[in-house]
């Protein structure tokens, strides 16, 4: 399922060896700084819901520490942030994937980084999005350059995919299909990911499987919200 020779490499060219000292440090930080109480997220979720024209504020359905994500780790190391998490919220059409940072002053920064389901962590989504947009531009009207992701689903997972730890995967691969819309059209863009460790991954655009989609529908086959499991606050 995963291509042996991806067209684009994100980050390292080869898997990095495990750094047990770094792993212990992240584990200690996650134990020290707990996930904020749900009520503290309510104002930000309400604002995100209004921007997305949701009928009601999105509700958190899953959350996990993600200090292993390079972007979140940078905020911790350079800005003194207390912790970083990924939050998955439902109740507004396709799932909302959000990045949460607990700032050093006690404030919280909550922002969406993807719509729909997926296993890619925030910095990986940000790095892969330009590739997906470039592919979508070949399928959308007028060569639309700035299509937005409106949904996504997990197509396949390699049996050897490592469990999520610190918000990332150390080894293994998976495929996601992202729905991108813009300029009056929609397209499904499949992407193959191969984890390399330390928050890095390779991504391969499976362009042969990309296709135009009708407007008005989500990504067929998207897993139900409970595929992420219950919210585990305090983890």
Structural tokens at position 103: 């700032």
Question: What is the model's pLDDT at position 18?
Answer: 54
What span, in angstroms and rounded, lies between the C-alpha atoms of 190 and 192? 7
Question: What is the model's pLDDT at position 19?
Answer: 60
Instruction: Specify whether the CB–CB gap between 91 and 59 falls below 8 A.
Output: yes
Q: Average of pLDDT values for 118-144?
A: 96
- What torsion, rounded to 10 degrees, do the Cα atoms 5, 10, 16, 22 define? -160
At 95, is the pLDDT very low, low, confident or very high (cuts 50, 70, 90)? very high
Question: What is the model's pLDDT at position 37?
Answer: 87
Question: What is the model's pLDDT at position 200?
Answer: 92
Confidence check: pLDDT of 118 > 80: yes
Over residues 53-87, the pLDDT tens digits come to 999 999 999 999 998 999 998 988 888 888 899 99
* Average pLDDT value over all residues in the chain: 83
Over residues 17-60, the pLDDT tens digits come to 456 787 888 888 787 778 888 889 999 999 999 998 999 999 99
Q: Furthest-apart CA pair in the chain: how many Å? A: 51
CB contact burial 35-58 (16+ within 10 A = b; e otherwise): bbeeeebeebbeebbeeeebeebb
Cβ-proximal residues to 210 (8 Å cutoff; 6+ apart), any chain: 135, 136, 139, 187, 188, 189, 190
Question: What is the model's pLDDT at position 77?
Answer: 84
Range of lowest pLDDT (149-153, 177-181, 189-193, 221-225): 221-225
Q: Distances from the Cα of 151 to the Cαs of 96, 147, 197, in angstroms? A: 9, 12, 26
Confidence check: pLDDT of 182 > 50: yes
Confidence check: pLDDT of 117 > 80: yes
Range of lowest pLDDT (15-24, 92-101, 102-111, 195-204): 15-24
159 alpha-carbon distance from chain centroid:
20
Confidence check: pLDDT of 12 > 80: no
Question: What is the model's pLDDT at position 27?
Answer: 85
Q: Average of pLDDT values for 133-154?
A: 95
């Amino acid at each position: 399922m995963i291509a042996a020779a991806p067209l684009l490499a994100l980050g390292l060219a080869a898997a990095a060896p495990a750094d047990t000292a770094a792993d212990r440090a992240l584990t200690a930080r996650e134990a020290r700084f707990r996930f904020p109480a749900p009520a503290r997220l309510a104002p930000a979720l309400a604002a995100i819901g209004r921007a997305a024209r949701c009928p009601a504020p999105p509700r958190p359905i899953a959350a996990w520490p993600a200090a292993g994500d390079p972007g979140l780790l940078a905020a911790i190391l350079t800005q003194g942030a207390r912790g970083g998490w990924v939050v998955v919220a439902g109740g507004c059409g396709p799932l909302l994937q959000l990045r949460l940072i607990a700032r050093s002053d006690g404030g919280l920064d909550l922002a969406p980084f993807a719509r729909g389901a997926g296993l890619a962590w925030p910095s990986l989504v940000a790095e892969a999005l330009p590739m997906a947009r470039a592919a979508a531009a070949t399928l959308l009207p007028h060569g639309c350059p700035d299509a937005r992701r409106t949904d996504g689903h997990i197509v396949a997972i390699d049996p050897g995919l490592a469990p999520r730890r610190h918000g990332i995967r150390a080894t293994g691969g998976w495929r996601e299909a992202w729905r991108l819309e813009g300029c009056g059209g929609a397209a499904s863009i499949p992407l193959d990911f191969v984890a390399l460790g330390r928050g890095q991954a390779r991504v391969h655009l499976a362009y042969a499987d990309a296709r135009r989609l009708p407007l008005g529908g989500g990504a067929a086959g998207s897993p139900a919200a409970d595929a992420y499991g219950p919210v585990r606050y305090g983890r």
